[in-house]
């Protein structure tokens, strides 16, 4: 996959994209990331990429005659152009999975009061990472790249990792434990030490259901359950009922 990121502050991405999974994906040739400085397309000595809004108002607006050439410099027939914007649809795992199937993403990071609306003619989709305000789209772009990169085949060490992770099945992840077996009176669940793979798998599935029920119950609404999940949920509810008495 190729991802081009258009930003007024491309240096913000250097450190995050040279660490951990993204670094390994780039080294393996599975992910190509290009950082494009929007100011390079601004004419004049001062490379002004923004200006005052027509009609008045606070803040500055990124100029169409700068942003459009920046987009067209990297846009191809395979490109999917995303504007990171608070007006976009909130990113979720389903959309991340879909974007992971794209060949080429172009991420446009807004700044100041946003971009000249005429730029939107080149934008395929607006994406938000939540209902709050950020200084610019750079942090949102980092989140998107991190999430999407995990969907690329071969990026994660184990092929099942991406499928088993939290939200991939509309469930939160089960609790994880490592050594020591006992710490300050808290013990690792015996089932994880049993070596019985089927019991471990079943325990993890039930714990994922329990974590979701306790922390994000809305994720369980309108979800289709298989027979095992229904049985595990009944066990959870029965146990909670007994504990509550």
Mean pLDDT of 93-105: 96
pLDDT band of residue 110 (cuts 50, 70, 90) is very high
Q: Which CATH class is domain 169-244?
A: mainly alpha
CATH code, residues 2-149: 3.40.1280.10
Are both 2-149 and 169-244 of the same fold? no
Handedness of CA 117, 123, 129, 130 (dihedral sign): positive
Interatomic CA distance for residues 134 and 117, integer angstroms: 19
Give Cβ neighbours of residue 204 (< 8 Å, ≥ 6 apart): 174
DSSP H helical ranges for 111-184: 138-149, 161-164
Does 160 score more than 50 pLDDT? no
Give Cβ neighbours of residue 113 (< 8 Å, ≥ 6 apart): 53, 57, 58, 59, 60, 61
Interatomic CA distance for residues 99 and 90, integer angstroms: 14
Does 165 score more than 60 pLDDT? no
The whole-number pLDDT of residue 171 equals 87
Interatomic CA distance for residues 215 and 205, integer angstroms: 15
Tens of pLDDT, residues 48-91: 999 999 999 889 999 999 999 999 999 999 999 999 999 999 99
The whole-number pLDDT of residue 243 equals 78
Q: Do residues 185 and 148 make contact, with C-beta atoms less than 8 angstroms apart?
A: no
Average pLDDT, the chain: 92
Give Cβ neighbours of residue 98 (< 8 Å, ≥ 6 apart): none
Domain assignments of the chain as residue spans, ordered by start: 2-149, 169-244
């Amino acid at each position: 996959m190729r991802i081009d990121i258009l930003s007024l502050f491309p240096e913000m991405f250097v450190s995050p994209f040279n660490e951990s999974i993204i670094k390994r994906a780039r080294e393996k040739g599975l992910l190509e990331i290009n950082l494009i400085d929007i100011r390079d397309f601004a004419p004049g000595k001062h490379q002004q990429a923004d200006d005052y809004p027509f009609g008045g108002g606070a803040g500055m607006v990124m100029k169409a005659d700068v942003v459009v050439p920046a987009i067209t410099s990297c846009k191809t027939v395979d490109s999917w152009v995303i504007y990171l914007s608070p007006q976009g649809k909130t990113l979720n795992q389903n959309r991340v999975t879909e974007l992971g199937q794209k060949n080429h993403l172009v991420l446009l990071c807004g700044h100041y009061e946003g971009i000249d609306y005429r730029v939107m003619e080149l934008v395929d989709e607006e994406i938000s990472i939540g209902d709050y305000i950020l200084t610019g789209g750079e942090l949102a772009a980092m989140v998107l790249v991190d999430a999407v990169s995990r969907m690329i085949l071969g990026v994660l060490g184990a092929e099942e990792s991406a499928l088993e992770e939290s939200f991939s099945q509309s469930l939160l992840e089960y609790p994880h434990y490592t050594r020591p077996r006992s710490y300050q009176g808290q013990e690792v669940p015996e089932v994880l030490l049993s070596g019985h793979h089927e019991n471990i798998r079943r325990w993890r599935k039930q714990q994922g259901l329990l974590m979701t029920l306790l922390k994000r119950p809305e994720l369980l609404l309108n979800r289709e359950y298989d027979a095992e999940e229904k049985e595990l949920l009944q066990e959870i509810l029965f146990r909670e009922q007994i504990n509550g008495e």
